[in-house]
Structure 1
C-alpha cells in the first residue's frame, strides 16, 4: 500500500471539518424550527439572546449558545458592534418562511430521520430485508412534505402541468385526478387550489400520512373536491382518471412496473400519467455532484430500503435516470414517454398509452 499524500489528507480533513459542522448545524436548524426561534426573528430586527428569550419564552442561556452557533455557520448574522443577531431577508426566506420558494427546514428534518433510523438501515444492509417507509421515524414524513412542497409550490402549477400536452385545459374545465403516493397531500391540495373545477383523489399506503392529508385539506378549504384514501400504488380504486400523478415516489416502490400497469388500467382512454422523479443522469459519473450527493445518500438510507422491503424489490433508487424510468413505463404497457420539463432537482415525464 502506498504512503498517503499528507497534503491530500489535510485537504480531505478540511472538507470533513466543514461536513461535520454542517451536520451539527443541521441539528440546530431542526431545534430552532421546532422552538419557533427562526419565526420569532423573521422580521430581521436585531436582537440579543435576552430579546429572543423574552419573545419566545425559551431560556436565555440556551438561546445565547444557539445564536452563536448559527452565526458561526452563517445561518444567522451577527453585529459585533451591537452584540446582536438578525436574519437577513435571504436567511429568513430559507429558515423562517414556510411557503417561500427556498424554505429548507424540512430538508433537515429528513436528515434527522437518517441519523435516527441508521440502526434499522444497518440491520437491513446485513439481512437484505429492507426498511419500509412506515418503519421510519415520524420526522421523515413531516420533513419530506415540507421539503418537497417548496418545489411543488414553485413548479407544479406554473411549469410542470403546462408542459403536459392538453392537461392544463382539462384541469381547468373539470377533470378527475389521482395523486398516488400523496403522503401528506401537499401536491394534491396545491392542484385542488389551482383547478377548482376538478376532483382530486389522493392515495397512499401509509395511514398516518392519509390522516394528516385529510386535516391539511380541511385547513386549506378544499375538502369539497379532495378525497384522501389509504391504498397501495398497485391497488388504488380504478376510476377512468384523466390524470394520474406520482410525485417523487415511483423509485420507492417495490414493483413500479406493476404500479404502472395499474395506472394504465385506471386511466381514461386519452389520460396522462405524470411522473416526477429526482433529477439524475443515466451514468453514475454525471451524478457525482452536490445534488447527486444528497439524492444518493437519501436513496441509501430511505428509498432503496423501502423498495427492498416490498414484493419484487426492483430498487430503482433515487438516481434511476431517464433510461430506467422509461423502461418501467414501457414494460407497464405504455408507448408514449416524454421528458416534458425539468428543474435542477426534478425530471418531469409525460406518459401515455
Structure 2
C-alpha cells in the first residue's frame, strides 16, 4: 500500500473529538451548581422541619447562638447550616457582626406558610423521586407504569403542599373570574366536581368562597381522599363538600355547572375518556376549567428551568401514572395547549380558550 493510500485511512487522533476546554469548564460548573442545589434542598427541608427559618423571620441580624436557642437546636450544627444558607444566598451574612439575617423577601419563600411563594415542602417531591429510583429504573426498562399511590409518602404530601398556596393566591381572585359567567353561577349555587382533587385544597377554597354551591372532590388515591375529608372537617364544610374515591370516568352525574381538573388531566391514562365523561355529566350551560402546567407546543420553546422541572417530574411521576392506568394517551406534564385542545375536541367539545396564565400554569376554559 502506498504512502498516499495511508493518508486517507482514519487514525485514532482523527476520531477523537476536539474538546473545547472553556465549554467543558462552563458545563462542568453548571453541573456542580445543580449538585449544589440538590444539597440545598436538604438544608431547606432541615431548616423548615427544625423551625430555623421561622425563628429567623422578622428577627433581624441574629447570631448562631441566639438562633440555636430560639429553635431548640445545637449551636454548632446551626452555625454550619447558616453558612450553607449564606453561601447559597438563602440568608444574608453580616461579616462585621458575624450575624445572619432572613430578609422579608426570603421569609416569604422560606418561612411564611401562607405566602404564595412558599416553597420548602416542594423539596419533598425530589426526595420521593430519589427514594423511588429503583421503581423508575424498572419502569424505564420494562415500559410498565408506577401509580401515584405506589410512590414514597413524601411525594403526595409535597405535591399537595406545593400547589396549595398557588391555588390559594390565584384560584378564587383570578382564575374563576377569568371564566365567562362562572362566578355568577357559583354565587347563585351550582354543583361542582373537582376531578383528581388530591388532598382537597382546591375544593375547600372554592367552597369557602361560594357557600351556595355544592362541591364534590373525587380521586383514585384513597389516602388522599382520607386527608381531604380531614381538611373539610377542620374547615367546617362537611355539609357543603363531599369527597369520594372514584375515577375520572365513573363519578356520578349531577349535571355539574363546573368541572375542574387541577393539574391532573395529563396524569390520566385515558384523558379523552375523562373529557368525554365530563361532557356527559356537565350541565347544558356548564364549563370545564382545566389547569395545566404552562407549556408551549414545541420542545424547543420549553427549554427553561421550569420546563426542566416539569419534564423531570413527568418522566417519573406523570407519565408513569398515566401508563399505570393503561396509557392510551400519555400526555406528560408539558403537553402544550394544542394537544390539550385536541383531547377535548375528540370528546365533543367545541369551545376551548386560554383564560389566564401564571409562570407555572395555564387556565383553560372548555365548553361544548
* TM-score of the pair, normalised by structure 1: 0.97
Q: How many residues align?
A: 353
Cα offset, 1:52, TM superposition: 2.2
Asked if 2 retains the 8 angstrom alpha-carbon contact of 1:251 and 1:318, the reply is yes
The residue number in structure 2 matching 1:255 is 270
Three-state SS of the structure 2 residue aligned to 1:277 is strand
Alignment RMSD: 1.3
The residue number in structure 2 matching 1:142 is 157
Residues 261-305 of structure 1: CA deviation (Å, up to 9, x unaligned): 111111111111111000000011111112211111111121111
- Counterpart CA distance in 2 for 1:83 and 1:12 is 34
Q: Of 311, 333, 340, which aligns to 1:325?
A: 340
The residue number in structure 2 matching 1:170 is 185
Three-state SS of the structure 1 residue aligned to 2:217 is strand
Point out where structure 1 has 5 or more consecutive residues left out of the alignment: none
Cα offset, 1:222, TM superposition: 2.5
1:145-224 alignment, distance < 5 Å? 145-224=160-239
2:263 counterpart of 1:264: no
Point out where structure 2 has 5 or more consecutive residues left out of the alignment: 1-15
- Counterpart CA distance in 2 for 1:174 and 1:120 is 45
Runs of 4+ that moved beyond 6 A: none
Cα offset, 1:126, TM superposition: 0.4
Asked if 2 retains the 8 angstrom alpha-carbon contact of 1:44 and 1:89, the reply is no
Q: Of 26, 29, 36, which aligns to 1:11?
A: 26
Three-state SS of the structure 2 residue aligned to 1:162 is helix
1:73-92 alignment, distance < 5 Å? 73-92=88-107
Three-state SS of the structure 1 residue aligned to 2:178 is coil
- Counterpart CA distance in 2 for 1:44 and 1:189 is 34
- Counterpart CA distance in 1 for 2:44 and 2:314 is 22
**Which region of structure 1 is more displaced relative to structure 2, 225-234 or 55-64?**
55-64
**Which region of structure 1 is more displaced relative to structure 2, 248-257 or 39-48?**
39-48
Q: Of 241, 250, 264, which aligns to 1:235?
A: 250
- Counterpart CA distance in 2 for 1:233 and 1:96 is 36
The residue number in structure 2 matching 1:95 is 110
* TM-score of the pair, normalised by structure 2: 0.93
